[in-house]
Structure 1
Amino acid sequence: MMKRSALVVVAMVVGVTLLIWAGVHNRRERSLAMQKAAEKAAMSMPEANAPGAGDGPAQPSLEGKKAAAFSLVDLDGKKVTLADYKGKPVLVNFWATWCAPCKLEMPWFEEFRKKYTDLVILGIAEDDASKEEIAKTAKKAGVTYPILLTDGKVASAYGGVELLPTSFYVGRDGVILTQTAGLGGKDEIEAHIQKLVGAGK
């Protein structure tokens, strides 16, 4: 009788353990599925009610034209100019702290910066957030490339940035090779970088 009771207890413990494991597993799967769905949604549209969200006039293409010179201050107060990187491939990325797609692609940029050592990435924070908030957002994304604070004029010099993120791939000769608006796929971004790094060698 005792032996039978012990078996029943063991069976109950095993059953409860399996139920708990299944619950945790299902919760984790649901969480991952929700995260992927959120990322997919962020890729397809800008954050609601954010500056630049919605349908604005199409931004003029600057491909094949000389990239506009700029002189901006980074998060450490150091002046950075586009001319500092003459002869190097430069990715100029306009982003903002409120822009969910921007924050998705920033870790990719960091990864590619390490992979393509000749590549220079300059992130221009195009919003009204405080320097502390901008620095916090960049740190959370794992960014180590220069983050520059907008002067309110640089976006206009680049044709008026209507959608964030917007990126300009500037060749070693200072000419814009590729221009993109909105979030592209990781492979697409890397293809643009490979084209940029390989051009003019």
Structure 2
Amino acid sequence: MNKKSLMGFGLLACLVLAGCGADWGTDQHGAQVTSQQLDGQWLVINYWAEWCGPCRTEIPELNALDKAHGDITVLGVNFDGLQGEELAAASTDLGIAFRVLSLDPAERLDLPRSAVLPVTYLVDREGKVRQQLVGEQTLEGLQEHLARLGR
């Protein structure tokens, strides 16, 4: 293999690997969630469960946040690891309008496993976790936290 072919192979390998790293999996509707869709966004990652009363109460607040700001994306994660049709049904039953990830991003973002719910993580545009919020959140409270962090 000559030097030019080797460089081309290396570039192709980097592009393939970068594409794999960009994948966040699918959402509750089976649609692919990629880094390109989330680049430049503040992420509000919320862990919820059907059995969690405060989770149910804060869902309208999270829906409103996701809708109100073009540079903020709310992503849900089911604490119990529901997948496929079960995840879609639970999301619909709870009135979740934001995307719910099928894959838990905890490893990707180095998030600690919380013993309590709900728990919400604020992630800046560079993918750095800036704050962990435990307990029920409101639209106003989330906006205040994000403003304090420089959003």
Q: TM-score, normalised by structure 2?
A: 0.68
Residue 81 of structure 1 deviates from its aligned partner by 4.2
Partner of 1:157: 110
Question: C-alpha separation between the residues in 2 aligned to 1:153 and 1:88?
Answer: 18
Unaligned runs of 5+ residues in structure 2 are 1-21
- The percentage of counterpart residues that share the same residue type is 28
Is 2:120 aligned against 1:192?
A: no
Partner of 2:4: none
In the TM superposition, 1:38-57 aligns within 5 A as none
The range that moved more, 181-190 or 97-106, is 181-190
Whether the 8 Å CA contact 1:125–1:147 is kept in 2: the answer is yes
Question: C-alpha separation between the residues in 2 aligned to 1:185 and 1:146?
Answer: 18
Looking at CA atoms only, which structure, 1 or 2, has the larger radius of gyration?
A: 1
Q: 1:157 to 1:173 in 2, by over 3 A?
A: closer
Amino acid corresponding to residue 131 of structure 2 in structure 1: T
Partner of 1:175: 128
Is 2:79 aligned against 1:126?
A: yes
Whether the 8 Å CA contact 2:24–2:101 is kept in 1: the answer is no
Q: 1:152 to 1:116 in 2, by over 3 A?
A: closer
Question: C-alpha separation between the residues in 2 aligned to 1:171 and 1:151?
Answer: 18
* 1:120 aligned counterpart, secondary structure: strand
Whether the 8 Å CA contact 2:30–2:84 is kept in 1: the answer is no
Residue 116 of structure 1 deviates from its aligned partner by 1.8
Q: 1:112 aligns with which of 55, 65, 87?
A: 65
Partner of 2:29: 76
Is 2:90 aligned against 1:145?
A: no
RMSD of the TM alignment (CA)?
A: 2.9
Deviations 1:46-96 (A, max 9, x none): xxxxxxxxxxxxxxxxxxxxxxx8723212223324564122111111112
* 1:80 aligned counterpart, secondary structure: strand
Is 2:31 aligned against 1:91?
A: no
User: Higher strand share goes to which structure?
Assistant: 2
Whether the 8 Å CA contact 2:27–2:99 is kept in 1: the answer is yes
Question: C-alpha separation between the residues in 2 aligned to 1:105 and 1:155?
Answer: 25
Amino acid corresponding to residue 137 of structure 1 in structure 2: A
